[in-house]
Every structure is written in structure tokens, then in C-alpha cells.
């Protein structure tokens, strides 16, 4: 899968594609329905997702924007799982924000990608002040020779699947509800970096992953499954700011059960299975060590039961 950063990097081989547009935050069941349909109707053309970085609400709301379900890295990894050939990532800045609906279509879809077919969600809006809608896309498609289709609402538990519903489920620790809407466990992906190495001194070495988000969609201690180098391992993870060691920036710390080896620099995929407890501050390192031991035992039990 190719990542195209900005319109100026579009090459002749990227044109003539079939496309969809959106934040694709979470790459959930609704998104997957669009991607499946797009793949079925590609007829040999490249499948392209047009997305934005930062996401529009992050541009407008800053730190008050909703928590992201996926960083750009995670989004790209998930899209690659669904036979997407290329992702056009547009920088959402003042220039893009100010494009009216006509210019957005002309510059991005017609002159840029030369699309032949476009699928969007049933609530898709675009252009300055979100004035562009499906009817406008249909009209522009008729003028510029590309077909436009929308997709019906995907329902889970009698409700519309959306990134907002998934965020709400995660914030309320309803991981199973989130999993139903995502079509997979909630997942975070990142490269293992050097941390404080405190876990090693406590007897529980951890793989540390930087959290590329302004806000976290969930926090606490979790039983997780990990994937690294094509191998799966059960693990326990802490996602938060580590108040017991005066942490400030959020980090994902993962202690792999029954694993020995060096993970530094490797990409780790972490699937959240079940919450164990909230993050809390302990009065001493010994109390923290005892809590981690309990968490590891709890994670082992939960994941063993989950395997059955």
C-alpha cells in the first residue's frame, strides 16, 4: 500500500482510481463495508482512501477534539489489511479548510486523482463550512464523468456504527461493545522505545510505546494480546500517565507474559481484551510491584478463559 502525502505527490500511476473519503478513524465496521464495496467495484483500478491529518475536528477544536481511535500509523496498518492500494493523506490546514465544495472536488478528485468511481458514507459532508453533500457529489460526478454511490447505515446492537459510539463505549470500559462495532478488538500499534526501565527493576520488564494522540480513548490496566514479528503473546498493559512514578505524558506499557527477548525498535500490535482496573497511584514501589504481580496473574486468568 502506498502513502501519498499531499496532492503534489500524486503521480500518473495513482490516477484513474476508485476512491472513498473520510477520517476513517478506527476503520470500523461501517468503514469496512465501504472498503469491501469499493474493492468489488474496482474492476482492476487502484483502491484509494482519501483522508486528513490532522483530522478536521482536531484542526478546529485543538485539545478539545474527541480522542482518536487510531493514529495515522495505526490507520494505515488497518487499511492495508483491507486491500487498499493507496492512501492520499491531505494536510488539513487553512488552505484546505477554505476550499469550497466545487474546488475540493475539482482539485482533489478530478485534477488530482482522476477518479472513476466514488463511495462515501451516508453522512459525508465536505468543503468550506461543510456545504458539500451527497447530492452535490452526484451533480459534480455527472459533470466530470465519475460515478458516485453512498452506503447505507451499518447497525450493531440496533444502533448506527460510528466512531463516536465506539469512543463512548471505550470511555465507559465497554470493550466488548466497541469490539462489535470495530469488528475486532480495539488495537494500538507502535514502535517499542526505551523507557525508564523501572519495570525491569521491579521484575516486570515492559515494552514502552509512545501514544500519538492528544487525548486517550481509554485508560487503565488491561489484559491484552500482542503481535510482534508474526508471533502472538498474552500480556498485561498499562495505558495512562503512570501516577506512581510522577508520569506526565501518556504512554502504553506492555508486560509480555512468557516472553524473553529484545523488543526495542520492533513494531508491537496490542489488542485490548478486558479491563482489569483503573490506573492508580501507589504509596511505594513495593506496593506498585505487588499490584503489577496481581495484574499479571489476573491477565493470565482472563486471557486463558478468553481462549476457551
Average pLDDT over residues 262-266: 89
Give the chain's domain count. 2
The answer to whether residues 202 and 295 belong to one domain is yes
Listed range (40-44, 100-104, 243-247) with the worst mean pLDDT:
243-247
Query: Domain with 237 in it: what CATH number?
Result: 2.40.30.30
Output the pLDDT for position 284: 86
Average pLDDT over residues 151-169: 92
Spatial neighbors of 286 by CB under 8 A, at least 6 apart, are none
Encode pLDDT of 195-251 as tens digits. Answer: 666 656 666 888 999 887 878 999 999 999 999 988 999 999 999 886 555 456 788
Q: Can you give the pTM of this predicted structure?
A: 0.92
Q: How far is CA 48 from the centre of its chain?
A: 17
Q: Which residue range forms the structural domain that includes residue 139?
A: 2-154
Spatial neighbors of 30 by CB under 8 A, at least 6 apart, are 121, 151, 153, 154, 160, 161, 162
Nearest CA to 48 out of 2, 107, 99, 104 is that of 2
Average pLDDT over residues 6-16: 97
Helix (H) or strand (E) holding 239: strand 231-240
In the chain, % of residues over pLDDT 70: 94
From 154, 171, 206, the end of a domain falls on: 154
Output the pLDDT for position 260: 83
Provide the edge-to-edge strand list for the sheet that holds 18-21. Answer: 2-5, 86-91, 47-53, 18-21, 117-121, 147-151
Most confident of 120-134, 145-159, 174-188: 174-188
> CB-based burial of residue 210 (10 Å sphere; 0-12 exposed, 13-18 middle, 19+ buried)?
middle
Nearest CA to 82 out of 13, 36, 131, 144 is that of 36
Q: Note whether residue 30 is domain-resident.
A: yes
| Residue 153 pLDDT greater than 90, yes or no | no
pLDDT band at residue 283 under the 50/70/90 scheme: confident
Output the pLDDT for position 185: 96
Q: What value does the mean pLDDT of the chain take?
A: 91
Q: Are 299 and 235 in contact (CB under 8 A)?
A: yes
Q: Are 269 and 189 in contact (CB under 8 A)?
A: yes
From 108, 136, 154, the end of a domain falls on: 154
The span from the CA of 12 to the CA of 102, in Å, is 23
pLDDT top residue among 67 and 202: 67
| Residue 189 pLDDT greater than 60, yes or no | yes
From 154, 176, 203, the end of a domain falls on: 154
| Residue 108 pLDDT greater than 90, yes or no | yes
Output the pLDDT for position 5: 97
pLDDT top residue among 104 and 195: 104
Output the pLDDT for position 229: 86
The answer to whether residues 123 and 10 belong to one domain is yes
The answer to whether residues 246 and 203 belong to one domain is yes
The answer to whether residues 132 and 197 belong to one domain is no
The answer to whether residues 234 and 127 belong to one domain is no
Amino acid at each position: 500500500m502506498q502513502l501519498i502525502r499531499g496532492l503534489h505527490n500524486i503521480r500518473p500511476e495513482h490516477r484513474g482510481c476508485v476512491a472513498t473519503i473520510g477520517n476513517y478513524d478506527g476503520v470500523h465496521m461501517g468503514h469496512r463495508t465501504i472498503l469491501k464495496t469499493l474493492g468489488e467495484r474496482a474492476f482492476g483500478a487502484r483502491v484509494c482512501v482519501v483522508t486528513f491529518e490532522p483530522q478536521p475536528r482536531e484542526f478546529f477544536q485543538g485539545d478539545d477534539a474527541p480522542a482518536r481511535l487510531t493514529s495515522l500509523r495505526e490507520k494505515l496498518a488497518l487499511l492495508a489489511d483491507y486491500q487498499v492500494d493507496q492512501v492520499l493523506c491531505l494536510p488539513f490546514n487553512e488552505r484546505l479548510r477554505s476550499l469550497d465544495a466545487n474546488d475540493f472536488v475539482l482539485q482533489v478528485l478530478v485534477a488530482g486523482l482522476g477518479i472513476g468511481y466514488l463511495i462515501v458514507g451516508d453522512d459525508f459532508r465536505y468543503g468550506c463550512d461543510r456545504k458539500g453533500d451527497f447530492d452535490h457529489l452526484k451533480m459534480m460526478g455527472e459533470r466530470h464523468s465519475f460515478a458516485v454511490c453512498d452506503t447505507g447505515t451499518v447497525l450493531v446492537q440496533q444502533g448506527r456504527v460510528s466512531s463516536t459510539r465506539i469512543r463512548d463505549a471505550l470511555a465507559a470500559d465497554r470493550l466488548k461493545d466497541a469490539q462489535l462495532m470495530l469488528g475486532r478488538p480495539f488495537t494500538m500499534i507502535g514502535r517499542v522505545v526505551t523507557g525508564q526501565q523501572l519495570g525491569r527493576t521491579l521484575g516486570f520488564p515492559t515494552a514502552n510505546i509512545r501514544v500519538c494522540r492528544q487525548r486517550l480513548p481509554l485508560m487503565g490496566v488491561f489484559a491484552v494480546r500482542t503481535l510482534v514479528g508474526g508471533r502472538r503473546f498474552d500480556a498485561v498493559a498499562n495505558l495512562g500517565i503512570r501516577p506512581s512514578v510522577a508520569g506526565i505524558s501518556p504512554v502504553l506499557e506492555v508486560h509480555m507474559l512468557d516472553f524473553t527477548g529484545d523488543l526495542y525498535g520492533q513494531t508491537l500490535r496490542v489488542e485490548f481484551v478486558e479491563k482489569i482496573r483503573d490506573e492508580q497511584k501507589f504509596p511505594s514501589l513495593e506496593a506498585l510491584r505487588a499490584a503489577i504481580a496481581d495484574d499479571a496473574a489476573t491477565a493470565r486468568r482472563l486471557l486463558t478463559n478468553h481462549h476457551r
